[in-house]
Chain A
Amino acid sequence: MSTAPQSSTSPPAADPFFEPWQSFARKIAAMPKVLEIMQRVRVGATPAHIVARDDHVRLLQYESDGPPAGGAASGRTPLLFVFALVNRPYILDLRPEKSVVRHFLARGFNTYNMDWGVPTQGDRHLGLRDYVLRYLDNAVDHVRDAEGVDRVNLLGYCMGGTMTAIYAALRPEKVRNLILLTAPIDWSARDNLLSIWTDERVFNVDRMIEVWGNAPPQWLQASFLLLKPVQNLLEKYVNLWENMDNEKYLEDFFAMETWLNDNIPVAGEVFREFVKYLYQENRLVRGELRVGPHRVDLRQVTCPVLNLIAENDHLVPPNQSQSFCDRVGSVDRRTITFPAGHIGMAVGSKAHRDLWPTVVDWLVERSGGR
């Protein structure tokens, strides 16, 4: 009878009794490593430098680290990212393998990003007029001058998408292509939690801004956490515990947590306008929104439009974005609904594999000849 030690060639079977304890011990032993990763994780993968300042707003230009694929960089219309006023814009460039910015740099786009900065109490009076017709318009003009072009490509994310849509309607001569990423446009359906919570019977935004000045970051953060309390306060930490010995998971987790907790206040007046005129009164699609002296008419958007919708978005449900292409004057318009969540569109592996190459192709086709 052979007594060859089989166990030396095949891994030992997991002991049903001891395995959970071994797993527990492994996780405890991984604690110092977790702390080390937590401290060393960095966000904002691509080097960028400030090319313009306007009060506390900064215009960043990303640096490409190699020759672009698919043609000379100088042949493409530059691209300007416009992020929301809530949180920081580096979510679009969180980690090297999860960077939306890098997709565009790699294909030869000179790429810029608006960093809205942190509003102080003195900025409580800044409204849509300041953000859209002053800061965004100045940034677009700067890019046009620096690149020697008439028009620029704009990509607006979330609330930044709403602002770029408004901008494209007010300054159509300066926009070559418009990409909206999970941008709320139509608030007529009032079935999602944010719409219910911001209903005027429940939420008096005038009084809030009168007393607090700006919308405080802690309050915004708590509201966002409460949108998915089980996932954000329970499930997330169970998953963290299960992946305590997975270095890649931990790096992604802490990068994401860094961004999620890097909250900034929103200037009072623009917050009030967003809640009152858009969430509560849905003025944008009704053609009643005024920015300064101008009425915003979405039919004035005539450039090619790509509308990206997240199928599982809990912040901006698809029904808030879907009708955008029907409301603009553009002939060349396309909507892509992708199976991801609000943040997953920017940082999800599937989005970086399947969605962003398609988006870049779409923009490349429409950005030749500057």
Chain B
Amino acid sequence: MSDAANPFAAFDPFMRFWTEFAGRCAAAGAPPPSPPADLLSQMRRAFFDALAQQADQFLRGEAFLAVMKQTMESSLAWQQTLNQFLQKGLSASQIPSRADADHVVVLLRGLEERLHERLDDLARRIERVESVSGLTQPAR
């Protein structure tokens, strides 16, 4: 039966949960002729297990993933708009913004990277020279 023909399709997860819960209770042997002292905790365990199983299925479902994606995109769009607005305000006031600081960091990292590459290159050349001349680093 299609969802359109079945007006109660939305309640299916809840039906499955209660069926699962009742099944687990029955499997646990409840209700026995004389209930054990921990019957309540067994039932609670069964309830939580069934609920956790349903929650896990829901969190893997297409519906949840779509909502998660949409929420994330909206949140990022809002944050980006806010960032741009703040940046324009700071720029107009001639105050450095986060983007300016980021730009400086990127420049410094590029400089640092080039220096490291140069140092690595020098280290390799020294090693080559030492190996040719028979000089080796003292053993640790």
List residues of chain A with CB under 8 Å of any chain B CB: 121-122, 124-125, 144, 148-150, 193, 196-197, 202-204, 207-208, 211-213, 226-231, 234-235, 238
Interface bin, chain B: 20 to 34
Give min CB distance, A175 to chain B, whole Å: 15
- A-contact 0/1 string along B47-71, CB 8 Å cutoff: 0100110011001100001001100
- Of the listed stretches B19-27, B97-105, B124-132, name the one at the interface; the rest are far from the partner chain: B97-105
Say yes or no: B48 contacts A235, CB within 8 Å. yes
Kindly state the separation between the CA atoms of A234 and B44 in the bound complex, as whole angstroms.
Answer: 12
Say yes or no: B109 contacts A125, CB within 8 Å. yes
- Known contacts A150-B140, A238-B44: does B72 contact A193 (CB below 8 Å)? no
Say yes or no: B60 contacts A121, CB within 8 Å. no
Q: Considering the complex, give the chain A residue whose CB is closest to the CB of B102.
A: A124
Which of A148, A208, A229, A231 is B59 in contact with, Cβ under 8 Å? A229
- Of the listed stretches B2-10, B75-83, B87-95, name the one at the interface; the rest are far from the partner chain: B75-83
In the bound complex, residues from chain B placing their C-beta under 8 Å from that of A208 are 72, 76
Say yes or no: A230 contacts B51, CB within 8 Å. yes
Say yes or no: A144 contacts B140, CB within 8 Å. yes
Which of A125, A197, A207, A230 is B106 in contact with, Cβ under 8 Å? A125
Say yes or no: A203 contacts B79, CB within 8 Å. no
In the bound complex, residues from chain A placing their C-beta under 8 Å from that of B60 are 193, 196
In the bound complex, residues from chain A placing their C-beta under 8 Å from that of B105 are 122, 124-125
Say yes or no: A202 contacts B76, CB within 8 Å. no
- Known contacts A122-B105, A228-B52, A231-B52: does B65 contact A211 (CB below 8 Å)? no
Which of B51, B59, B68, B76 is A211 in contact with, Cβ under 8 Å? B76
Taking CB atoms and an 8 Å cut-off, the chain B residues in 33-56 that contact chain A are 44, 48, 51-52, 55-56
Say yes or no: B83 contacts A211, CB within 8 Å. yes
List residues of chain B with CB under 8 Å of any chain A CB: 44, 48, 51-52, 55-56, 59-60, 65, 68-69, 72-73, 76, 79-80, 83, 98, 101-102, 105-106, 109, 140
In the bound complex, residues from chain A placing their C-beta under 8 Å from that of B80 are 211
In the bound complex, residues from chain B placing their C-beta under 8 Å from that of A150 are 140
Kindly state the separation between the CA atoms of A334 and B59 in the bound complex, as whole angstroms.
Answer: 35
- Known contacts A125-B109, A202-B69: does B76 contact A230 (CB below 8 Å)? no
* Selected A-B contacts with CB under 8 Å, 13 pairs: A121-B98, A122-B105, A125-B106, A193-B60, A197-B65, A203-B69, A211-B76, A211-B80, A229-B52, A229-B55, A230-B48, A230-B51, A230-B55
SS of B interface (majority): helix
Q: Considering the complex, give the chain A residue whose CB is closest to the CB of B77.
A: A211
Give min CB distance, B67 to chain A, whole Å: 10
Kindly state the separation between the CA atoms of A252 and B77 in the bound complex, as whole angstroms.
Answer: 41
Kindly state the separation between the CA atoms of A144 and B140 in the bound complex, as whole angstroms.
Answer: 9
Kindly state the separation between the CA atoms of A359 and B80 in the bound complex, as whole angstroms.
Answer: 48
Kindly state the separation between the CA atoms of A38 and B54 in the bound complex, as whole angstroms.
Answer: 33
Say yes or no: B101 contacts A212, CB within 8 Å. no
Kindly state the separation between the CA atoms of A193 and B61 in the bound complex, as whole angstroms.
Answer: 10
In the bound complex, residues from chain A placing their C-beta under 8 Å from that of B48 are 230-231, 234-235
Say yes or no: B65 contacts A202, CB within 8 Å. yes
Kindly state the separation between the CA atoms of A266 and B109 in the bound complex, as whole angstroms.
Answer: 19
Say yes or no: A193 contacts B59, CB within 8 Å. yes
In the bound complex, residues from chain A placing their C-beta under 8 Å from that of B65 are 196-197, 202
Q: Considering the complex, give the chain A residue whose CB is closest to the CB of B65.
A: A202
Give min CB distance, A197 to chain B, whole Å: 7
Q: Considering the complex, give the chain A residue whose CB is closest to the CB of B117.
A: A293
Kindly state the separation between the CA atoms of A293 and B48 in the bound complex, as whole angstroms.
Answer: 50
Kindly state the separation between the CA atoms of A179 and B64 in the bound complex, as whole angstroms.
Answer: 37
Give min CB distance, B137 to chain A, whole Å: 13
Give min CB distance, B51 to chain A, whole Å: 5
Give min CB distance, B103 to chain A, whole Å: 11
Q: Considering the complex, give the chain B residue whose CB is closest to the CB of A230.
A: B52
Q: Considering the complex, give the chain A residue whose CB is closest to the CB of B60.
A: A196
In the bound complex, residues from chain A placing their C-beta under 8 Å from that of B83 are 211
Kindly state the separation between the CA atoms of A196 and B140 in the bound complex, as whole angstroms.
Answer: 48
In the bound complex, residues from chain B placing their C-beta under 8 Å from that of A230 are 48, 51-52, 55
Kindly state the separation between the CA atoms of A274 and B57 in the bound complex, as whole angstroms.
Answer: 26
Give min CB distance, B43 to chain A, whole Å: 13
In the bound complex, residues from chain A placing their C-beta under 8 Å from that of B68 are 197, 202
Kindly state the separation between the CA atoms of A23 and B23 in the bound complex, as whole angstroms.
Answer: 31
